Amino acid sequence: MLASDGFNTNSDISDDTFTVVRHAPEVFIFTEDGTTVQSNQLLILSGNGYDQEDGILEGTSLEWSSNLEGFLGTGNLLQARLLEGQHIVTLTGRDSDNNEAEASIQIVVDGESDMIYLPLVLR
């Protein structure tokens, strides 16, 4: 009998049962580490996950959180307004075997901008 994890192959010539270890997923964040936004600015978080056994992770298999605010949402793409401060934002990927992997970035949220927004008047 042969068993493969997609990279390695092993064989068994006995009648005993053997198992192939299931792998944890891999998680990637595309939003740049060290990004700075204003507290009134919408932040877009982007990432993905992949598992050798399950394939691409989507939806609730990907969970976003902040060390300052806790749970932020799920999915590959998330729009958020974060509180002022220095956040460690983490994307956790969970496969069907409940194996987990994490990736983290730092996001700095500054106070309100000094800019003044005036209405546009057209004549």
- Tell me, what's the pLDDT at 17? 73
Identify the bridge partners of residue 107 per DSSP, sorted by sequence position. Answer: 35, 87
d(CA 11, CA 119): 72
**DSSP character for 6?**
S
More confident residue, 33 or 5: 33
| Residue 10 contacts residue 23 (beta carbons within 8 Å) | no
Residue 83, pLDDT > 70, answer yes
- Tell me, what's the pLDDT at 73? 98
Q: Which domains does the chain have, with CATH numbers?
A: 23-110 (2.60.40.10)
Tokens 């000094």 — which residue?
114
User: What's the pLDDT tens digit per position in 42-70?
Assistant: 999 999 999 999 999 999 999 999 999 99
User: What's the pLDDT tens digit per position in 20-33?
Assistant: 678 899 999 999 99
Residue 16, pLDDT > 70, answer yes
d(CA 4, CA 15): 18
